[in-house]
Amino acid sequence: MVIDVSLPPDAGTLSASAGPESKEARSDDNLYPVASIDNRRLAAIVDLFCLLFAYGGFLMLFGSLGGEFTLSKLSAAVYITTFAIVYLQYFALFTVFGGTTPGMMIRNLQVTSFSGEPPTPRQMLLRSAGYMLSAGAFFLGFLWAMWDEDELTWHDRLSRTYLSPAQTYADIETSSVAHS
């Protein structure tokens, strides 16, 4: 006698309350866990240092080419605007073309879409624009993760992506063998 356990149980034998839970459990099998807030915070600190280094290089180039630094309202507006442009370029270029920032690479994080698949370039561009929104509102978009039930930020919700611990090829092979 052979019993085939690879087929799911018949939907008619499940109770009404267990049906939706089992469907959710099956659909969430391919999703990665959300990275911890501490891990994301450390990645953000690394990215902040990289961003400040890039902006400092921009200011040094500006000064070496004859630019003058003054303290006025107009100059402050120019400094803030140029920093916002460098900020947007930093996140857009790294996330759209590389899929991750240096901070995410160091902390071993990856961007994953809500469906569990790799994010599309459009989602990565929306994520980069979402970084501007999250930071532009006095960093409230980043702090939102502390109150969100899924620990997601505004740019996560906007782009329908989130950060998860990176899966290596060996991890994927191990999990596929475990599910088989």
Q: Are 87 and 131 in contact (CB under 8 A)?
A: yes
What percent of the chain clears pLDDT 90, i.e. is strictly above it? 63
Q: Kindly tell me the burial class for residue 160, based on how many C-beta atoms sit within 10 Å of its own C-beta (0-12, 13-18, 19 or more).
A: middle
User: What's the pLDDT at 119?
Assistant: 93
pLDDT of 105 strictly over 90: yes
User: What's the pLDDT at 8?
Assistant: 55
pTM recorded for the entire structure: 0.73
Buried b (16+ CB within 10 A) or exposed e, 30-60: eeeebbeeebbeebbebbeebbeeebeeebe
Report which of residues 67 and 20 the model is more confident about.
67
User: What's the pLDDT at 149?
Assistant: 92
Rounded CA gap, 21 and 140, in Å?
33
* Amino acid identity, position 115: S
21 — pLDDT class (breaks 50, 70, 90): very low
Residue with tokens 């980043």: 142
pLDDT of 19 strictly over 90: no
Average pLDDT along the chain: 82
Q: Are 13 and 21 in contact (CB under 8 A)?
A: no
